[in-house]
Amino acid sequence: MRTFQLSESNGKQSPNVAGFYDPRTFSVQYIVSDPETDQCAIIDPVLDYDEKSGATATHHADELLAYVREHNLDVQWILDTHPHADHFSAAHYLSEQTGAPKAIGGYVTDVQELWKGIYNWPDFPADGRQWDQLFRAGDEFSVGNLRGQVLFSPGHTLASITYVLGDAAFVHDTLFQPDFGTARADFPGGDAHQLWQSIQDILALPDETRVFTGHDYMPGGREPEWESTVGEQKQKNPHLVGTTEEDYVALRNKRDSELPMPKLILHALQVNTRGGRLPEPESNGRRYIKIPLDTLEGAAWD
């Protein structure tokens, strides 16, 4: 199975993009680097978690660090596109290892406030202080000489953002590969109308813009893929070609009503709303995950 692929720079204002696929969570992690300066950002890193044993590990994050060392890269940012529902974020661990600041969309405070209630955390600070930088729509940043821009991309979650770095757009769980479709919009705070508009904002980028997705589920048993272009999404994505907003919302709502919740959503959100920090150890030195019962719809009994 393909678990690594390098998308090389196309020239000025075009990054090298190294994609690392995690078959366990179907997630893609990225190292985005400026070939002129060897400075880079890490996007959506995975902290390993085995829900059956409760074990955590840093195998995937350490793979990213090994790539950074091998290529003599300087990490400037640890970026998350949103608080993930299907894997733990390794942002905190990688920030500790590299000294690079952690960043996410500032709208994460809305997600924190929502899940603060779900987890019954009356004293939880839902103000985003768990990150070093909170980006807003239209904010600009840089990785070496690469110019970066932030798009607000709600719909999948309240806080989802897209990072555009040069000719590369990191669209998290908004779009999947053109042969698969688009992301679900039924998580707490999700909205199919908002997701449609977020997709239109991404499709307004130049057709040659490289599109890097947050997951791939290997439809038809093909090898994992995570790169396309805006032009390919317009021409081939079955959820978008010839579709109106009303048709899309109806399709999305019907499809989502048939999907079970991700198996790690209740585990992951209490880590990821903390910026990737695991719960603090209790008096016996062990950390504990809190699972609220009878809270979310979407139980799959069969």
Q: Does residue 99 fall inside a structural domain? A: yes
Q: Cα separation of 168 and 81, whole Å? A: 14
- Please answer whether residues 67 and 31 qualify as being in contact, where contact means their C-beta atoms are separated by less than 8 angstroms: yes
What is the C-alpha separation between 109 and 116, in angstroms, rounded? 10
- Indicate whether 290 belongs to any domain: no
Residues 191-217, mean pLDDT to the nearest whole number: 98
Within-domain flag for 298 = no
pLDDT of 38 > 90? The answer is yes
Question: Does 19 fall in a domain?
Answer: yes
**pLDDT of 85:** 95
Asked if pLDDT for residue 174 goes beyond 90, the answer is: yes
| Domain-located, residue 33 | yes
**pLDDT at res. 302:** 66
Question: Domain range spanning residue 105?
Answer: 4-270
Q: For position 82, what pLDDT does the model report?
A: 97
46: in domain = yes
**CB contact set of 243 (below 8 Å; sequence gap of 6+):** 251
Number of structural domains (the chain) is 1
pLDDT band at 234 (very low <50, low <70, confident <90, very high): very high
Mean pLDDT value of segment 57-67: 98
The pLDDT of residue 208 is 98
Within a domain: residue 107?
Answer: yes
Rounded mean pLDDT of 3-25?
97
High-pLDDT (> 70) share of the chain, %? 100
CATH code, domain with 74: 3.60.15.10
Please, are residues 105 and 3 in contact by the beta-carbon 8 Å criterion? no
Percent of the chain with pLDDT over 90: 97
Q: What is the mean pLDDT of the chain?
A: 97
Residue 301 lies in a domain: no
